[in-house]
Amino acid sequence: MTTLQDNAVEPASPSELISTSPVLLLAPGEPRAPIAILSLAKRNAVVACFNAGGLHKRDGAWHGPPGGKPVSGMTAADLARDGMLTVTTNHRIGSARLTERGNWFARTLLCDGTAGTCSPAPMP
């Protein structure tokens, strides 16, 4: 399960205020994405893309944050067909970004790994 890390951030200037309140991944009342439809590989790829601000193709694989596991081309292609990634390639160079739908799934996945930063699950 992926969790958000609490990283200390220094202000850019002494007058800049930094909020210490948690970031809401899902807006109050926003429904949760149906993450059960995603395989583990797709879940990891969506979160990696969210955390890195995109994926970049390098050495025949898609890479997100430094030190992270590479994402297979098949997984990236599946996510693009599912409407979660937009993929741009130019010969051997490529980049992928989350769509609005992919961003929703990533925020739901990250919400599952945090305590108190997400809106409550809707009542059935």
Of 1.10.10.10, 1.10.3470.10, 3.90.230.10, 3.65.10.10, the CATH number of 38-112 is: 1.10.10.10
Above 70 in pLDDT, residue 112?
Answer: yes
CA dist 112 and 42 (Å) reads 16
Per domain, the residue ranges of the chain are: 38-112
Average pLDDT in the chain = 78
pLDDT in tens, 2-53: 433 433 334 444 444 443 334 457 888 889 999 999 999 999 999 999 999 9
pTM of the full structure: 0.72
Pairing between β-strand 55-58 and β-strand 93-98 as defined by DSSP bridges: antiparallel
The b/e string for 109-121 (b: 16+ C-beta within 10 A; e otherwise) is bbbbebeeebeee
Percentage of the chain surpassing pLDDT 90?
Answer: 52
